[in-house]
Structure 1
Amino acid sequence: MRKLTYLVACSIDGFIGDPGGDASSFMRYIDEEYLEFLTGEYPDTLPAEGRRTLGLDGVANKRFDTVVQGRGSYQLGLDAGEPSPYGHLREIVASRTIEESPHPNVEIVRDGIVERVRELKAEEGDLGIWLCGGSRIAGELVDEIDELVIKTYPQVYGSGMPMFASGFAIGDFALDAVRSFGNGVVVRWYSRR
């Protein structure tokens, strides 16, 4: 069975964006050491434009062959003129407001995202599924998440978009690894208990 990995950037206090969902303040921490880590370990999670800029076009997917995201996360690509922002992956977008897909590589799931993710996890294959965000879809899929990769940036937001927009429920995960960087970013890997 394939794994669903929620790989997400957040502030020290657990917000993935400000109250409007903007997380651009994290970008100031992309230095040479951290970029080398991202491009070496998670090149699949870079959008197509970033891959082109960094000369990673044609680099084989390392960890994921599918990305799942909510409408808000997908809208960032649309606003940048990229209807298929992760064209090197199969793209699944959970949205009740997009009537039809603006790109052949993008599958719109209007209802039943949990069931669709279960189908994806049951497929054959060595590569996993990346839950890109945002908060609401992570809340809906919290029970399906097998692995968390949390990139914590040395900022405190105070309020904003939480990692999971869901009701109160305790879910236990085991800490597998931690890596810190000179820029203050800490990456933690957790697996579901």
Structure 2
Amino acid sequence: MRKLTYYIACSIDGFIGDESGDASYMVRLVDEEFFEFLKNEYPETMSTQGRRAFGLDDLENRRFDTVIQGRASYDLALKEGITSPYAHLREYVASRTLKESPDPKVEIVADDLVGRVRELKAEDSAFGIYLCGGSVLAGELFDEIDELVIKTYPVVQGSGMPMFQSAFAISEFELDDVRTFKNGAMVRTYSRKR
């Protein structure tokens, strides 16, 4: 069975962006060492446009072949005129309000999101599924998340959008790996205890 991995950037105090979800300031915190790590370990999590801007179109997927993102995350690309932000992956957008996909490569999942994710997880593939955000989607899919990859930047926001918007429930994860970087960033990987 394939894993659903919530791969997310956050502040030290656990916020993935401001109240509207904007986390553009975090990009400024990526230095050369950290960028090399991201490029080598998680190349498919870079948007297609970002890969092109850095001349990295030829990078092969290492971990994921599918991405699921929420409507708010997808809207960030749409505002820039980008209808397929992860063209190098199979793309799904969870939305109850977007009735028709603006791109034939992007499938809208309006109903039974959990059922659709379970179907994707049951597929035979060596690659996992990248949960791109945001917090509402992560909350809805919380029970389906098998792995957390949390890129923590050395900043405190004080308030903003949390990693998960869901009801209170304690769920245990096991720490698999921690990587630290000179810029103060840290990448922690956790597996869900089942």
Same fold (TM over 0.5): yes
The equivalent residue for 1:172 is 172
The equivalent residue for 1:47 is 47
Structure 1 residue matching 2:141: 3-state secondary structure:
helix
- Residue 157 of structure 1 deviates from its aligned partner by 1.0
With normalisation by structure 2, the TM-score equals: 0.98
- Residue 83 of structure 1 deviates from its aligned partner by 0.3
* Counterpart code for 1:12: I
* Counterpart code for 1:121: K
1:89 and 1:159 map into 2 onto residues whose CA distance is 32
The answer to whether residue 110 in structure 2 is matched with residue 110 in structure 1 is yes
2:163 and 2:56 map into 1 onto residues whose CA distance is 29
2:90 and 2:103 map into 1 onto residues whose CA distance is 11
- Residue 84 of structure 1 deviates from its aligned partner by 0.2
The equivalent residue for 1:5 is 5
Percent identity reads 67
- Residue 59 of structure 1 deviates from its aligned partner by 2.1
1:96 and 1:10 map into 2 onto residues whose CA distance is 26
2:139 and 2:34 map into 1 onto residues whose CA distance is 28
2:58 and 2:120 map into 1 onto residues whose CA distance is 24
The equivalent residue for 1:71 is 71
With normalisation by structure 1, the TM-score equals: 0.98
- Residue 53 of structure 1 deviates from its aligned partner by 1.4
- Residue 37 of structure 1 deviates from its aligned partner by 0.5
Q: Point out 4+ residue stretches in structure 1 off by more than 2 angstroms.
A: none
- Residue 58 of structure 1 deviates from its aligned partner by 2.8
Q: How many residues align?
A: 193
Residue by residue over 1:110-167, the C-alpha shift from the partner in whole angstroms, topping out at 9 and shown as x without a partner, is: 1111111000000000000000000000000010001000000111111111000000
- Residue 39 of structure 1 deviates from its aligned partner by 0.5
- Residue 104 of structure 1 deviates from its aligned partner by 0.7
1:165 and 1:79 map into 2 onto residues whose CA distance is 24
The answer to whether residue 20 in structure 2 is matched with residue 20 in structure 1 is yes
Give the unaligned 5+ runs of structure 1: none
The equivalent residue for 1:157 is 157
- Residue 97 of structure 1 deviates from its aligned partner by 1.1
- Residue 30 of structure 1 deviates from its aligned partner by 1.2
2:59 and 2:174 map into 1 onto residues whose CA distance is 31
2:91 and 2:2 map into 1 onto residues whose CA distance is 16
The answer to whether residue 86 in structure 2 is matched with residue 83 in structure 1 is no
